[in-house]
Amino acid sequence: MTRATAPRQSAAPSTSPRTPPPAPVSSFDELPLAPALLTALRAQGVTEPFPIQAATLPATLAGRDVLGRGRTGSGKTLAFGLAMLSRTAGRRAESKRPLALVLVPTRELAGQVAEALTPYAKELGLRIATVVGGTSINRQVDALRRGTEVLVATPGRLADLLDRRACALDKVTVTVLDEADQMTDMGFLPQVTRLMEKVDPNGQRMLFSATLDRNVDKLVRRFLTDPVTHSVDPSAATVTTMDHHVLYVDDTDKRATTTEIAAREGRVIMFVDTKRGADRLPKHLLAQGVRAAALHGGKSQPQRTRTLEQFRTGQASALIATNVAARGIHIDGLDLVVNVDPPTEAKDYLHRGGRTARAGESGTVVTLVTPGQRRDMTRLMRQAKITPDTAKVRPGDADLIRITGARTPTGEPVVITAPAAAPSAGSRPGGGGSAGGGRRRPRRSRPARRPTRAPRA
């Protein structure tokens, strides 16, 4: 099935194709947003738009297709969310037939998108539902049966629901692909293509991606019509609010160095290559007195949700993760990311590092590099267009302490008490998470919602 070539009839008046994009704005007050949305923005502490919001909202509110390129944490959620909600306002969804769709690659990102948009949707009387893998499909079927205007979904689970005839996409007039590059990297391209073929061919499409590789370009050329393109804070650029350090360590010193960093005051995400490594390191750290927890794709969804809640609330200060956490997880105030095992691709480095220095905050990315990894790491940093500060360190070194806040652990074993499980996905998410927000006042973190696993997410 190919996309219709006739001019599309959007849900609201659209700027004519081939016309110049509207000029960026400097304030939300300059946009044709409903008064209720402006009130909600103020209530959430969002005072002025981030660059990607200022650049894309005039076009998306006018009904244009948009291709947005921006690094993680640049404010993409509100960039597409405010337009999607505005253009859906005043309509009521039939049973099983949502009106707007956001496709994301991971459960964690699905939960955060829904949580971030819920305060604004509520002001407009719009219902939001999430459908992701690893959680009760029956509850999600029930939510769709009751009706939802906005659906946030991972491709695998949504495809399953379509196969069960529990959902139809023919009424979807606004479609968003968020983190499109990761969806293609995770093998979702066939499912995304199938889903895009089922939405209203005359609807509006928005695609946001940190990178525009060949597979993403296929989606752009097939499904976007005369898109307005904005590139804001591209992921390949060095983030000015982020410090990059490569710390050279001997193989025999690596574990002790890692332990001292994990024992710092304050939270840290530490990336490792394997699920086994993500399970073993926390056991060692807990025995040394460091409150550590593991997050990887082999964990059940309730385990992953509880682990994220422990980290958000400070019960766990060190989160040991595989690449499952490299995208879609936003933790307010996280100022340090450590690559215990260096990534193999520049793209992975940038997305791991993107867990810090989000929304204009500052942060530090540290990579531990053993002698046998130096050549590969030099190549990777060159590809990422980053010139890091380098130092040779050992446990207890002044440079290690200065850069990471490392300190000697207590050596007294600790146990983390698991919090109560979060509400299941498919229920209406609550709260106003900061993912994708504009410039805002610091606010207390909200509990994580049901988040995603791939490729059957």
Residues 373-407 pLDDT 10s: 999 999 999 988 889 999 999 999 999 999 999 99
| pLDDT grade for 362, boundaries at 50, 70 and 90 | confident
Q: Cα–Cα–Cα angle for 268, 454, 201, nearest 5°?
A: 120
Which residue would you say has higher pLDDT here, 156 or 443? 156
| pLDDT grade for 213, boundaries at 50, 70 and 90 | confident
Class of the 28-235+427-440 domain?
Answer: alpha beta
Q: Is 423 helix (H, G, I), strand (E, B) or coil?
A: coil
| pLDDT for the residue numbered 99 | 98
| pLDDT grade for 346, boundaries at 50, 70 and 90 | confident
Q: What is the mean pLDDT of residues 190-219?
A: 90
Residues 353, 365: contact at Cβ < 8 Å?
yes
| Segment 107-136, tens digit of pLDDT | 888 988 999 999 999 999 999 999 998 888
| pLDDT for the residue numbered 327 | 62
For the chain, the average pLDDT equals: 83
Which residue would you say has higher pLDDT here, 166 or 23? 166
> If you compute the radius of gyration of the chain from its CA atoms, what whole number of angstroms results?
22
Q: Where in the chain is the domain with CATH 3.40.50.300?
A: 28-235+427-440, 242-404
Q: Is residue 103 over pLDDT 80?
A: yes
**Topology (CATH) of 242-404:** Rossmann fold (3.40.50)
Q: What is the mean pLDDT of residues 249-277?
A: 95
Which residue would you say has higher pLDDT here, 457 or 368? 368
| pLDDT for the residue numbered 425 | 39
Q: Is residue 68 over pLDDT 50?
A: yes
Which residue would you say has higher pLDDT here, 263 or 297? 263
Largest Cα span, the chain: 69
| pLDDT grade for 21, boundaries at 50, 70 and 90 | confident
Least confident of 294-298, 305-309, 330-334, 404-408: 330-334
| pLDDT for the residue numbered 107 | 85
| pLDDT for the residue numbered 303 | 84
- Give CA 225 to chain center in angstroms: 25
Q: Is residue 169 over pLDDT 50?
A: yes
Q: Is 175 helix (H, G, I), strand (E, B) or coil?
A: strand
Give the amino acid at 332: D
| pLDDT for the residue numbered 171 | 98
Q: What is the mean pLDDT of residues 68-84?
A: 82
Which residue would you say has higher pLDDT here, 137 or 74? 137
Q: What is the mean pLDDT of residues 78-103?
A: 96
Q: What is the mean pLDDT of residues 236-262?
A: 84
- Give CA 221 to chain center in angstroms: 24
| pLDDT for the residue numbered 26 | 87
| pLDDT for the residue numbered 232 | 59
| pLDDT for the residue numbered 319 | 94
Which residue would you say has higher pLDDT here, 17 or 357? 357
Least confident of 4-13, 17-26, 192-201, 242-251: 4-13
Q: Is residue 158 over pLDDT 70?
A: yes
**Hey, how many other C-beta atoms are within 10 angstroms of the C-beta on 187?**
13
| Segment 283-305, tens digit of pLDDT | 999 999 999 999 987 887 788 88
Interatomic CA distance for residues 436 and 198, integer angstroms? 27
Which residue would you say has higher pLDDT here, 438 or 26? 26
Q: Is residue 428 over pLDDT 60?
A: no
Q: Is residue 55 over pLDDT 50?
A: yes
Give one DSSP letter per residue of 342-403, joined into a string. --SSHHHHHHHHTTSS-TT--EEEEEEE-GGGHHHHHHHHHHTT---EEEE--TT-HHHHHH
Share of the chain above pLDDT 70, in %: 82
Confirm whether pTM is higher than 0.95. no
